[in-house]
């Protein structure tokens, strides 16, 4: 357990007035508040430190105790004993362990000296929003082709989640109120889930559009005809125009990926033709190709 | 849409220990949407996280409503830019393969 210099946390001198402490707290809290810095772990950590420092220094009685025992924190245990003996007369509300934001988020130093935030009665408004939680979920691209429900276990709590079709790789969704519990009437934090989408299909995804390459035999490319190609929903019949060139792109409207949170709307599927030149030609085939070449030369 | 999609302003104010005047002020500033049904004003449920965030900024940081409006606007812009970064990263990944 390390000693924490709360004055240093708030960038203050030991002789700082209550107004200096308030000003310093406001300045730093505005900079590091979790609502201003969503998904920023560093800011969240800093905000907790600032809060802790403010809770101690803004209360003259606790500041006095901190100034007295803080440097020599080994004596905190004795201080704690004395404090506990006083607590019994306060009734059941002031005993018990602190929860949520305080239980998890105050430093060991703070817990040891002050026993959590519940022993702070001096500050009028000490409502704390619960901690935001972050989780990551790995899904296969086929899983996010359709909306589905999934049950996640986060901090031993089961959360039933509706995963809308069309979620992007790297996208984060917020589940309001499913983060850490709020303290002293404060609201619960939020749960942020980041998605990693694994794609091992022949389809490349760019937003709502899908891209794939289809091999086309030379004869069908030259003469045209019908082919069957794979889409995410199954096989699709496609007409190939005569004299199709290598690299030709064809768009299949509405056969791409579902648009996020827009039910019934889909992107497009782009197919690029890769014309396959026949190999291992028989003497007869070679003869016919030569004939074609001669015809072309004289055309 | 039924009433389960809305929360009455009075209920919201009781649970957050604030006056309904404050919520109406948020509405006047264009910070949250309200709807009226049978002489009662409601907050749509999807607006709740936004309303709660505004309350936290107002009470934790003592930021006035003008400041909150600016913060919300900038946070919306950051969110859009982050979405765009994800989109562009995925696009770049497509060409790197």
What number is the average pLDDT over the span A238-243? 95
Strands A172-175 and A191-198: antiparallel
**B64 in contact with A at a CB cutoff of 8 Å?**
no
pLDDT recorded at residue A103: 36
A53 falls within a domain:
yes
Strand segments, DSSP code E, in chain B are 6-8, 35-37, 40-44
pLDDT tens, position by position, B20-68: 999 999 998 888 999 998 888 999 988 888 898 899 888 888 889 889 9
Number of domains present in the structure of chain A: 3
- Residue A231's domain spans which residues? 204-298
A125 falls within a domain:
no
A127 falls within a domain:
no
Is A170 in Cβ contact with B90 (below 8 Å)?
yes
pLDDT-derived band at A191 (thresholds 50, 70, 90) equals: confident
* Residues of A within an 8 Å Cβ radius of B: 26, 29-30, 33, 35-36, 38, 125, 127, 129, 168-171, 174, 176-177, 185, 187, 190, 204-207, 211
Class of domain B3-96: mainly alpha
Give how far the C-alpha of residue A229 lies from the chain's centroid of Cα atoms, to the nearest Å.
35
**Which of B17, B61, B97 has the CB atom closest to A30's CB atom?**
B61
**B57 in contact with A at a CB cutoff of 8 Å?**
yes
A60 falls within a domain:
yes
A38 falls within a domain:
yes
Of the residues A119, A150, A175, the one at which a domain ends:
A119
Say yes or no: A243 and A179 in one domain.
no
Is A29 in Cβ contact with B61 (below 8 Å)?
yes
Phi, psi (deg, nearest 5) at residue B64: -75, 170
Is A30 in Cβ contact with B86 (below 8 Å)?
no
Q: What mean pLDDT value characterizes chain A?
A: 81
Of the residues A178, A198, A218, the one at which a domain ends:
A198
pLDDT-derived band at A299 (thresholds 50, 70, 90) equals: confident
Say yes or no: A112 and A144 in one domain.
no
ipTM of model: 0.70
What number is the average pLDDT over the span A30-51? 86
CATH number at residue A39: 1.10.287.110
Alpha-carbon distance of A235 to A228, in angstroms, equals 6
Of the residues A163, A198, A233, the one at which a domain ends:
A198
Strand partners, B43: B7
pLDDT-derived band at A94 (thresholds 50, 70, 90) equals: very low
Inform me whether the pLDDT recorded for A268 exceeds 60.
yes
A126 falls within a domain:
no
Alpha-carbon distance of B47 to B33, in angstroms, equals 7
């Amino acid at each position: 357990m390390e000693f924490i210099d709360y004055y240093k946390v708030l960038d203050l001198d030991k002789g700082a007035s209550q107004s200096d402490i308030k000003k310093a707290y406001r300045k730093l809290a505005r900079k590091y508040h979790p609502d201003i810095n969503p998904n920023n772990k560093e800011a969240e950590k800093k905000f907790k430190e600032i809060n802790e420092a403010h809770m101690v220094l803004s209360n003259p009685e606790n500041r006095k105790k901190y100034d007295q025992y803080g440097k020599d924190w080994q004596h905190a245990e004795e201080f704690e004993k004395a404090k506990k003996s006083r607590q019994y007369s306060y009734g059941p509300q002031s005993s018990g362990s602190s929860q949520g934001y305080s239980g998890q988020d105050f430093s060991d130093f703070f817990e040891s000296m002050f026993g959590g935030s519940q022993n702070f009665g001096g500050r009028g408004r000490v409502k704390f929003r619960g901690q935001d939680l972050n989780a990551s979920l790995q899904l296969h691209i086929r899983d996010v082709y359709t909306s589905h429900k999934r049950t996640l276990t986060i901090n031993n709590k089961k959360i039933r989640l509706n995963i809308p079709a069309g979620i992007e790789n790297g996208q984060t969704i917020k589940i309001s109120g499913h983060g850490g519990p709020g303290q002293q009437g404060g609201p619960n934090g939020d749960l942020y889930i980041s998605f990693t989408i694994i794609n091992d299909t022949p389809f490349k995804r760019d937003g709502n559009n899908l891209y794939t390459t289809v091999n086309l035999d030379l004869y069908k490319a030259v003469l045209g005809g019908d082919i069957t190609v794979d889409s995410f929903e199954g096989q699709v019949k496609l007409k190939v125009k005569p004299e199709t060139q290598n690299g030709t792109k064809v768009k299949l409207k509405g056969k791409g990926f579902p648009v996020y949170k827009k039910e019934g709307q889909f992107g497009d599927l782009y197919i690029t033709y890769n014309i396959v030149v026949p190999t291992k030609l028989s003497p007869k085939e070679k003869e016919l190709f030569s004939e074609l070449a001669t015809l072309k030369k004289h055309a | 849409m039924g009433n389960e999609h809305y929360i009455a302003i009075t209920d919201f104010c009781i649970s957050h220990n604030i006056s309904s005047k404050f919520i109406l002020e948020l509405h006047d500033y264009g910070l949250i949407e309200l709807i009226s049904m049978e002489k009662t004003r409601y907050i749509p449920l999807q607006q709740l996280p936004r309303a709660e965030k505004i309350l936290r900024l107002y009470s934790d940081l003592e930021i006035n409503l003008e400041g909150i409006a600016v913060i919300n606007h900038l946070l919306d812009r950051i969110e859009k830019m982050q979405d765009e970064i994800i989109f562009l990263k995925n696009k770049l990944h497509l060409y790197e393969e």
